[in-house]
Amino acid sequence: MKPLLSLVLVTAASAGPLEIRYDRPPAGMGSGGGEASMSDASTATSSGWESSAQPVGNGRIGAMIFGGTNKERIQFNDITLWTGGDNPSGGYDVNDFGCYQNFGDLFIELDGAGGNHPPGTCTSGHVPYHSNENAAAAADGNASTKWCVEPKGKDVVWQIELPDPEVIGTYAFTSGNDVPERDPQQWRLEGSADGKSWSLLHEMKDQKPFANRGETKTFMLPAGGKRAPLKHYRLTFPPNPGVSHFQLAEITLGNPPVTPENYSRSLDLSTGIHTVTWKSGDATITRETFASHADDVIVVNFRSTGKLSGKVRLAGAHGDTTSANASALTFTGQLSNKLRYAARAAATTDGGALASKEDSLTFRDTGTLTLILSAGTDYAMDPAKKFRFGADPAETTAAKSKAALSHKYDDLHSRHVTEFQKLMGRVTFDLGTPKEGDIKSRLQAYKKGAEDPALEALMFQYGRYLLLSSSRNSLPANLQGLWNDSNKPAWFADYHTNINIQMNYWQAEPANLAECAKPLHDWVIASIPGSRAATVKDFGEKTPGWTMRTSVNPFGGNGWEWNLPSSAWLARHFWEHYAFTGDAEFLREKAWPIFKDVSEFWLDHLVEKDGKLVVPKGWSPEHGPREDGVAHDQEIVWDLFTFTLDAAKELKIDDALTKKIAAAKEKLLGPQIGSWGQLMEWTTERPDLEKSGHRHTSHLYAVYPGNQISVSRTPELAKAAAVSLEKRGTSGDSRRSWTWAWRTALWARLGEGDKAQSMIRGLLTHNTLDNLFTTHPPFQIDGNLGITVGICEMLVQSHAGEVAILPTLPKGWPTGSYKGLRARGGFEVDASWKDGKLTESTLKSLLGNELVLRLPGNPAKITLTRGDGKAAELNAKDGVFCFPTTKGESYRISMP
């Protein structure tokens, strides 16, 4: 195979600690659970899961860490916890297709946290709509349960009696799981010393429904004057006009906000460890949390220079009953599709007392507390086993917990970091010293126009971190990676095949995380029987091969619209793995059967029209009408036939099928240029749609991720693609997280580095939350994962039969370096540059292929130094340098 290379840097200095750091707790999670970001209660602040917390994950299980001090919430997931099944109807609903699920929460409270209140009661006499929807459900720490009643024209009253009088400074509501109109629109908070004489503390009117289900809003009582501690509090909710029900998932009262002394919370991308530290009295407390791939558990460790006391509670997200013994909390359950699940939180201390109390663990007078959280299901990615593993998840979680507990915390920490850094540490990317301030202040300044190249480099590494954390040895990353706090997330957090799951994995090969693509490959293979069944059901028993609908679940179930090119697009990821790694066994055993089947589907499905083969009734996803010969479909089929023929050549296959594919490829309708110089999206010009600013750029697939169009080989088509991309604009519907990422890669392929960098700025400015999650809206992980490959394409390209180093360096990155990026043909590339000019690059040949190298500025000569120190001067031919390489050898390139 001719080497198609990529680029990476060799002398890259790290840009300092790869930390996403904050100097304040998120709203509602300060000392005592009461920090809020408002000066008064006239405006609510959202302390939502998707924007405030930070993620850890080991590819199968993960958690969102909120960063509280005396009160902490750790919301956790297992990527296999799904409802649904094989979905033979092809429908798209929560019952048949299914939905990714929240697993539960781990709550830790240190003594002195405050707000440790009993559940309130409904004193207005309203009966719960369902028996389990009483007022106590609004105090169980579980956003998937709720308090729900029918007001029937009467005020709904919630009332609480505290064990001891307290001054309440904040209160918070969490919205119910459905029907936004049921959210409270007005209410009064009152307090009383004796439960008889009440004083108005705060009132809200004309409130709109919460933006998201399961969202938390925290309200601060007005400042001014010293209030006496009160034992009784009540909330009165007048009925919403024209709405039959009232509901809330959670009601909490908080102490006056206090910013902890010396507070810091950070996620270190280089180690995968989340750290919170603060001072409480004379003691300094540190809490570390990580999801260990080495031990397959989530680990939480508290250390204090004083003594720690408090309690731990484990809550499932499906009405689960938690059991406690002397050192562990457990719950088990079964979803509607009979998928079994279990969770276990075990605790150890270095002294003091550890005991169980009802559904919680208590700890007293210890210097350290370590919690081991294990969770799992009986899902198996194997259709032959009907997607069930067979083992009891209660037993597997207990075994993993026991194994982890056999190690001391320092050993667990070391094992995790060593294993994590083997992958994360492969690539460095340095664009200078980070700006002063925590990440929130840096992001705010950036959104106002400040330059911060180090923030852009951090976003690149954050994408690598998120893929590494959500895609290893289990299911592939879904629309939210593996992080989810809802039992009905947007689009069910499924696998969308019209760009989203593909974008999740664009970076895997070039960003040197090839192992993280394995879950995608395995999921595609496991989905084939279900997809084949769906294909023949709708296209006939004689239809060869298979394809997929737009939405696919973990059980091979297909839902919503047919997306016929989806299987061909997914097949590209199998070819990319071979192109970068040269794994011949993978090509032969896993990739070729897919190439063969999907090619046979298209040979059967294409129709001839005016002497050309076209895809009938195709679609430019989510844009415009259905029509024969849509550019998106034509380009993907051309791509499929091209890499299938390349694979056949590698495998020395020359048979009737390959001859049919070659003949069909020659007859395919190719990309067309329209009347105003654009790359046509349909065979019929539709300027109102083509210039509409639509989020999808489906007709530019041939530029990226395909390679049918390139600046060097098809300059006229590349120029037309640039015209189309420019006309899409960057406002309105174009402002979607994944849209910015795709356009970064497109502009990079088209040789426009400054425009590519402007797409990065667009993503960070318009579609990035405070925790650097990207939002569609709502939160959707493909923007985070996709921006990484866009930056890779700016630094090294290898799609055009050559390795191009710094092909599209923007002016905004005048000096920098990178190390460890991968290129097709089996090359690792390092590079450094100064004042916009390449100073040095090192390439390592992993396969011993011939290297075709293009350098910025088209130098006529370079000095090439081998690993043994021998140097030679090379002359360019046709703008490139070409030389054979030796497997395992490194080559240092010096500019004249």
Say what the pLDDT of residue 260 is: 82
**Structure token pair of residue 564:** 């016929």
Q: Work out the pLDDT band at 468, boundaries 50, 70, 90.
A: very high
Query: For the ranges 224-233, 245-254, 446-455, which has the lowest average pLDDT?
Result: 224-233
Q: Which residues pair with 156 in a beta bridge?
A: 237
CA neighbours closer than 13 Å in the CB half-sphere of residue 521: 24
Listed in order, the ranges of the chain carrying CATH 2.60.120.260 are 115-254
Spatial separation of the C-alpha atoms in residues 400 and 389, rounded to whole Å: 16
Q: What are the CA-CA distances from residue 801 to residues 49, 381, 432, 504 (Å)?
A: 44, 36, 32, 24
Q: Work out the pLDDT band at 35, boundaries 50, 70, 90.
A: very low
Q: What fold, for 30-112+288-417?
A: Beta-galactosidase; Chain A, domain 5 (2.70.98)
At residue 36, does pLDDT exceed 60? Answer: no
Say what the pLDDT of residue 28 is: 53
Are 634 and 670 contacting, i.e. CB atoms less than 8 angstroms apart?
Answer: yes
At residue 33, does pLDDT exceed 60? Answer: no
Q: Is 360 helix (H, G, I), strand (E, B) or coil?
A: strand
Report the phi/psi class of residue 699: left, alpha or beta, with left for phi > 0 and alpha for psi in -120 to 50.
alpha
At residue 579, does pLDDT exceed 60? Answer: yes
Quick one: average pLDDT of 438-446? 95
Quick one: average pLDDT of 720-740? 95
Query: Residues 6 or more apart from 697 whose CB is under 8 A from it?
Result: 724, 725, 728, 739, 742, 743, 746
Q: Which residues pair with 63 in a beta bridge?
A: 56, 76
Say what the pLDDT of residue 745 is: 98
Q: Is 548 helix (H, G, I), strand (E, B) or coil?
A: strand
Say what the pLDDT of residue 145 is: 84
Which of 662, 678, 679, 661 is closest to 670 using CA atoms? 679
Spatial separation of the C-alpha atoms in residues 221 and 225, rounded to whole Å: 11
Q: Is 45 helix (H, G, I), strand (E, B) or coil?
A: strand
What pLDDT, in 10s, does the model give residues 287-329? 999 999 999 999 999 999 999 999 999 999 999 999 999 899 9
Written as one string, the DSSP assignment of 757-771 is HHHHHHHHHHSB-TT
Say what the pLDDT of residue 26 is: 78
Are 598 and 571 contacting, i.e. CB atoms less than 8 angstroms apart?
Answer: yes
Quick one: average pLDDT of 622-637? 96
Spatial separation of the C-alpha atoms in residues 46 and 218, rounded to whole Å: 7
Which of 221, 309, 253, 311 is closest to 118 using CA atoms? 253
At residue 38, does pLDDT exceed 50? Answer: no
Quick one: average pLDDT of 754-776? 97
Say what the pLDDT of residue 113 is: 52
Listed in order, the ranges of the chain carrying CATH 2.70.98.50 are 30-112+288-417
Query: For the ranges 511-520, 731-740, 751-760, which has the lowest average pLDDT?
Result: 731-740
Helix (H) or strand (E) holding 635: helix 631-650
At residue 458, does pLDDT exceed 80? Answer: yes
In the chain, helix, strand, coil percent, each to 5? 25, 30, 40
At residue 69, does pLDDT exceed 60? Answer: yes
Angle at 776 between CA 772 and CA 780, to 5 degrees: 60
At residue 179, does pLDDT exceed 60? Answer: yes
Query: For the ranges 213-227, 289-303, 353-367, 664-678, which has the lowest average pLDDT?
Result: 213-227
Quick one: average pLDDT of 584-613? 98
Q: Work out the pLDDT band at 895, boundaries 50, 70, 90.
A: confident
Say what the pLDDT of residue 258 is: 65
Q: What are the CA-CA distances from residue 662 to residues 31, 659, 668, 885 (Å)?
A: 68, 5, 10, 31
What pLDDT, in 10s, does the model give residues 378-416? 999 999 999 999 899 999 999 999 999 999 999 999 999
Residue 548, φ and ψ in degrees, nearest 5 = -135, 160
Rounded to two decimals, what is the model's pTM?
0.88
What pLDDT, in 10s, does the model give residues 132-173? 899 998 987 777 789 999 999 999 999 999 988 988 888 989
What pLDDT, in 10s, does the model give residues 337-352? 999 999 999 999 999 9
Q: Is 789 helix (H, G, I), strand (E, B) or coil?
A: helix
What pLDDT, in 10s, does the model give residues 865-876? 998 889 999 999
Q: Is the dihedral of CA 708, 710, 712, 718 positive or negative?
A: positive
Q: Looking at domain 115-254, which CATH architecture does it have?
A: Sandwich (2.60)
Q: Which residues pair with 275 in a beta bridge?
A: 266, 288
Are 348 and 405 contacting, i.e. CB atoms less than 8 angstroms apart?
Answer: yes
Say what the pLDDT of residue 224 is: 63
Spatial separation of the C-alpha atoms in residues 137 and 388, rounded to whole Å: 32
What pLDDT, in 10s, does the model give residues 679-728? 999 999 999 999 889 999 999 999 999 999 999 999 999 999 999 999 99
Mean pLDDT, all residues of the chain:
92
Say what the pLDDT of residue 142 is: 73
Q: Hey, how many other C-beta atoms are within 10 angstroms of the C-beta on 470?
A: 29
At residue 37, does pLDDT exceed 70? Answer: no
What pLDDT, in 10s, does the model give residues 826-858? 999 999 999 999 999 999 999 999 999 999 999
What pLDDT, in 10s, does the model give residues 84-100? 999 999 999 999 999 99
Distance of CA 526 to the CA centre of its chain: 22
At residue 42, does pLDDT exceed 70? Answer: no
Q: Work out the pLDDT band at 40, boundaries 50, 70, 90.
A: very low
Q: Hey, how many other C-beta atoms are within 10 angstroms of the C-beta on 433?
A: 10
What pLDDT, in 10s, does the model give residues 244-285? 999 999 998 887 656 689 999 999 999 999 999 999 888 999
Quick one: average pLDDT of 51-60? 96
**Structure token pair of residue 850:** 């011939």
Identify the burial level of 522 via C-beta atoms within 10 angstroms of its C-beta, where 0-12 means exposed, 13-18 middle and 19 or more buried: middle
Angle at 522 between CA 340 and CA 539, to 5 degrees: 95
* Edge-first strand listing for the sheet containing 45-46: 45-46, 216-220, 170-174, 250-254
Say what the pLDDT of residue 558 is: 98
Are 37 and 48 contacting, i.e. CB atoms less than 8 angstroms apart?
Answer: no
Q: Is 417 helix (H, G, I), strand (E, B) or coil?
A: helix
Identify the burial level of 392 via C-beta atoms within 10 angstroms of its C-beta, where 0-12 means exposed, 13-18 middle and 19 or more buried: middle
What length does the chain have? 896
Are 699 and 724 contacting, i.e. CB atoms less than 8 angstroms apart?
Answer: yes
At residue 374, does pLDDT exceed 70? Answer: yes
